[in-house]
């Protein structure tokens, strides 16, 4: 479950409080919490984003600054990282209204700050989202690299590069659906081979 609550600030700034609460994972990935590798359910790590969006720096161009705070609610792998983490991030948003195109590159750097599970590995990881959104018809948008980042693991010095796309349908002013898939093209630092996902968003 995800919750986004934006606040309009003075001078054209926007602050967005985001909460991500993965309540149930069901996976056959191995780890201390699932050593046998059978299908097992568990709670994931909860995390919170504090995001500031700047006023226009140039026409249709804004900056993005913030930080993510991760709580070790999922325990050990494969459900959680077993430690508190912080991840500062920065990016830009370039909008092209005439073509229905928005490009939002964003970098996020994860650092572990306190382990709560024995054997939890040190985290030093850079995520890059080269997000591109294109309106293709009334109420329909195609988005690339919005859910899964291109990742460089500084500890192992290895890459994970997914190819991801999703189709978003804005059914009503207050209701949106998304359907997507991803494939791990470079898996030196493996995260997944293939992934299929769906999302329902309610606006209030």
Q: What span, in angstroms and rounded, lies between the C-alpha atoms of 101 and 85?
A: 33
- C-alpha to C-alpha distance for 4 and 48, rounded to whole angstroms: 10
Give the pLDDT mean for 44-54. Answer: 97
Q: Is the pLDDT of residue 166 over 90?
A: yes
- pLDDT-based confidence at residue 201 (cuts at 50, 70, 90): very high
**Bigger pLDDT: 25 vs 16:** 16
- Split at pLDDT 50, 70, 90, the class of 93 is very high
Contacts of 132 (CB under 8 A, 6+ apart): 101, 102, 103, 104, 143, 144, 145
Q: How far is CA 189 from CA 22, 108, 121, in A?
A: 23, 17, 14
Q: Where are the domains of the chain?
A: 1-122, 130-204
Q: Could you give the CA distance from residue 27 to residue 4 in angstroms, rounded to a whole number?
A: 26
Q: Over 90: is that where the pLDDT of 177 sits?
A: yes
Quick one: pLDDT at residue 71?
97
Angle at 41 between CA 38 and CA 43, to 5 degrees: 140
- In whole angstroms, give the CA distance from residue 57 to residue 18: 24
């Amino acid at each position: 479950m995800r919750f986004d609550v934006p606040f309009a600030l003075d001078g054209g700034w926007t602050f967005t409080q985001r909460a991500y609460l993965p309540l149930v994972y069901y996976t056959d990935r191995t780890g201390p919490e699932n050593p046998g590798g059978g299908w097992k359910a568990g709670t994931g790590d909860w995390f919170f984003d504090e995001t500031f969006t700047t006023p226009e720096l140039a026409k249709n161009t804004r900056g993005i600054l913030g930080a993510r705070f991760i709580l070790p609610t999922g325990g050990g792998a494969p459900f959680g990282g077993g430690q508190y983490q912080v991840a500062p991030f920065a990016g830009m948003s370039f909008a092209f209204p005439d073509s229905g195109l928005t490009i939002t590159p964003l970098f996020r750097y994860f650092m572990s700050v306190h382990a709560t599970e024995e054997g939890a590995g040190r985290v030093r990881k850079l995520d890059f989202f080269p997000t591109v959104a294109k309106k293709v018809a009334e109420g329909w948008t195609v988005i690339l690299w919005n859910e899964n980042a291109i990742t460089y693991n500084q500890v192992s010095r290895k890459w994970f590069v997914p190819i991801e796309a999703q189709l978003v349908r804005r059914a009503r002013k207050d209701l949106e659906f998304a359907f997507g898939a991803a494939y791990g093209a470079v898996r030196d630092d493996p995260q997944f081979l293939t992934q299929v996902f769906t999302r329902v968003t309610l606006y209030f």
